[in-house]
């Protein structure tokens, strides 16, 4: 099964067709979401567990979003915060 990637970067959405053939070749399912500036924590939480990655702008990836999206019960962020 291929990867599912959420794309919410406002600068990429208008030109996504330029990259679609690459995603198709790699077996990546693209999930597009309309966004004016950024996705909120609640909007991102709606995708937690259903996507494998994101191409984003200034979306609000809070600790709650990262914890909900983590594939394992132990998740460590880059700054050393740990969630069990």
* pLDDT tens per residue, range 29-74: 999 998 988 999 999 999 998 999 999 999 999 999 999 988 744 4
What's the structural domain count of the chain? 1
The pLDDT value given to residue 73: 41
Helix (H) or strand (E) holding 79: none
| Residue 23 domain flag | yes
Do the domain assignments include residue 68?
A: yes
Averaged pLDDT for residues 9-27: 95
CA distance 76 to 64: 12
Residue 83 forms part of a structural domain: no
Inside any domain, residue 51: yes
Residue 60: which domain range?
Answer: 4-75
User: 81 in a domain, yes or no?
Assistant: no
The Cα–Cα gap between 21 and 48 comes to: 26
CATH number of residue 62's parent domain: 3.40.50
The C-alpha atoms of residue 29 and residue 52 are separated, in whole angstroms, by: 10
pTM for this entry: 0.78
Q: Residue 21: CB partners within 8 Å, gap ≥ 6?
A: none
Return the pLDDT at 78.
52
Q: What is the pLDDT of residues 70-83, one digit of tens each?
A: 874 444 455 555 54
């Amino acid at each position: 099964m291929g990867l599912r990637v959420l794309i919410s970067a406002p600068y990429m959405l208008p030109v996504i067709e330029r990259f679609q053939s690459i995603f198709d070749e790699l077996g990546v399912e693209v999930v597009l979401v309309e966004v004016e500036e950024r996705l909120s924590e609640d909007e991102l939480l709606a995708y937690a567990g259903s996507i494998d990655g994101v191409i984003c702008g200034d979306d609000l990836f809070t600790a709650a979003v990262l914890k909900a999206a983590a594939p394992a019960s132990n998740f460590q962020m880059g700054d050393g915060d740990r969630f069990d």
